């Protein structure tokens, strides 16, 4: 979607409550969307939590259009009463849906000996320094009950050296050993086979991954960057423990 100037939308949370979920989308909203984004169909249109506006989603992109089709608001919508970022809440829902497409067998999994306490997907790049640091401590993550499921995200893109390294690792007879060697700086023997590397890179792009490592949790929330095992365990306990 073409970028529009940022409009502060947090005051909208003070307006009227949203309309019923079954309310039809106003014709003015549909016409405006057809005019500004003529070649795409929105994934969802629904009454926004701010009265008089509709929430429109195209993939991970969410914005708001007034019921008369005149005003478009792009930015995060905050509920000042509950202190909840409603737009980020929407993104989290969208990420959770997208992550359902990931098959466990398409990840390179480092799991604890027993039942994991937490499972974390990590978008990783073989040549990324912080990704290598995370992997150096993989045993400790596992000892703390954290299962790490690696998904490939070669930061330099498709058909680059990092991409081909990820493919070679995936196609190795022992993927875990090959990944460990590659993250230690050893060039993996060149291999090719059917692999999920391009699909995982595409998924990461849809999720908004812009760097590695990027951690994705069970609720669809994300955390960019590296946390050491103790920090990650504390974060998971704070966010997800009963």
Q: Are residues 77 and 143 in the same domain?
A: no
Q: How far apart are CA 135 and CA 137, in angstroms?
A: 5
Q: How far apart are CA 124 and CA 214, in angstroms?
A: 7
* 164: in domain: yes
Catalytic one among 91, 95, 127, 128? 128
Total structural domains within the chain: 2
Q: Are residues 128 and 234 in the same domain?
A: yes
Catalytic one among 131, 132, 149, 171? 131
Q: Are residues 43 and 157 in the same domain?
A: no
- Angstrom CA distances, 215 to 22, 52, 171, stand at 36, 36, 24
Show the domain range for 174.
104-240
Q: Are residues 68 and 162 in the same domain?
A: no
* 45: in domain: yes
* 186: in domain: yes
Is the torsion defined by CA of 199, 202, 206, 212 positive or negative?
A: positive
Q: Are residues 67 and 131 in the same domain?
A: no
155 carries an active-site annotation: yes
Q: What is the pLDDT of residue 10?
A: 35
Q: What is the pLDDT of residue 164?
A: 97
Q: Are residues 31 and 72 in the same domain?
A: yes
Name the one residue in this structure whose structure tokens are 């970028």. 3
pLDDT tens for each residue of the chain, 242 residues long: 444 333 333 333 333 333 334 458 999 999 999 999 999 999 899 999 888 999 998 888 899 999 999 999 999 999 999 999 999 898 889 899 899 989 999 999 999 999 999 999 999 999 999 999 999 999 999 999 999 999 999 999 999 999 999 999 999 999 999 999 999 999 999 999 999 999 999 999 999 898 999 999 989 999 999 999 999 999 999 999 76
* 2: in domain: no
Q: Could you tell me the CATH number of the domain that includes residue 42?
A: 3.10.450.70
Q: What is the pLDDT of residue 5?
A: 37
Q: Are residues 129 and 21 in the same domain?
A: no
193 carries an active-site annotation: no
Q: DSSP H helical segments within the chain, as ranges?
A: 27-36, 86-99, 129-136, 138-143, 161-170, 175-183, 197-207, 229-240
Of the residues 86, 114, 136, the one at which a domain ends: 86
Q: Are residues 122 and 209 in the same domain?
A: yes
Catalytic one among 91, 132, 149, 155? 155
Q: Are residues 180 and 228 in the same domain?
A: yes
Q: What is the pLDDT of residue 23?
A: 58
b/e map of 89-123 (b: 16 or more CB within 10 Å)?
A: bbbbebbeebbeebeeebbbbbebeeebebbbbbb
Q: Are residues 123 and 190 in the same domain?
A: yes
Q: What is the pLDDT of residue 2?
A: 40
Which among 174, 169, 183 is positioned nearest to 213, based on CA atoms? 183
Which among 145, 148, 140, 150 is positioned nearest to 116, based on CA atoms? 145
* 91: in domain: no
Q: Are residues 127 and 225 in the same domain?
A: yes
Q: Are residues 22 and 74 in the same domain?
A: yes
Q: Could you tell me the CATH number of the domain that includes residue 168?
A: 3.40.30.10
Of the residues 52, 86, 120, the one at which a domain ends: 86
Q: What is the pLDDT of residue 54?
A: 94
**Does residue 11 sit in helix, strand or coil?**
helix
Catalytic one among 91, 95, 106, 125? 125
Q: On the CB side of 102, how many CA atoms lie within 13 Å of its CA?
A: 30
* 15: in domain: yes
């Amino acid at each position: 979607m073409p970028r529009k100037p940022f409009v502060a939308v947090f005051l909208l949370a003070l307006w009227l409550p949203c309309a019923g979920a079954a309310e039809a989308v106003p014709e003015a909203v549909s016409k405006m969307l057809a005019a500004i984004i003529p070649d795409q169909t929105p994934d969802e249109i629904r009454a926004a939590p701010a009265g008089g506006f509709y929430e429109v989603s195209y993939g991970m992109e969410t914005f708001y259009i007034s019921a008369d089709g005149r005003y478009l608001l792009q930015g995060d919508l905050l509920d000042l009463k509950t202190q909840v970022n409603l737009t980020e809440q929407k993104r989290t829902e969208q990420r959770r849906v997208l992550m359902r497409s990931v098959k466990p067998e398409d990840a390179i999994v480092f799991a604890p000996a027993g039942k994991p306490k937490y499972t974390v997907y990590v978008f990783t790049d073989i040549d990324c320094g912080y990704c290598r640091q995370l992997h150096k401590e993989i045993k400790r993550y596992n000892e703390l009950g954290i299962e790490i499921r690696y998904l490939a995200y070669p930061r330099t893109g498709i058909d680059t050296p990092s991409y081909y390294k990820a493919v070679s690792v995936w196609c190795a007879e022992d993927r875990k050993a090959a990944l460990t060697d590659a993250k230690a700086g050893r060039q993996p023997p060149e291999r090719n086979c059917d692999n999920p590397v391009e699909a995982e890179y595409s998924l990461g792009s849809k999720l908004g991954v812009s760097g590695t490592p990027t951690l994705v949790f069970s609720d669809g929330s994300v955390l960019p960057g590296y946390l050491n095992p103790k920090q990650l365990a504390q974060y998971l306990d704070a966010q997800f423990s009963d």
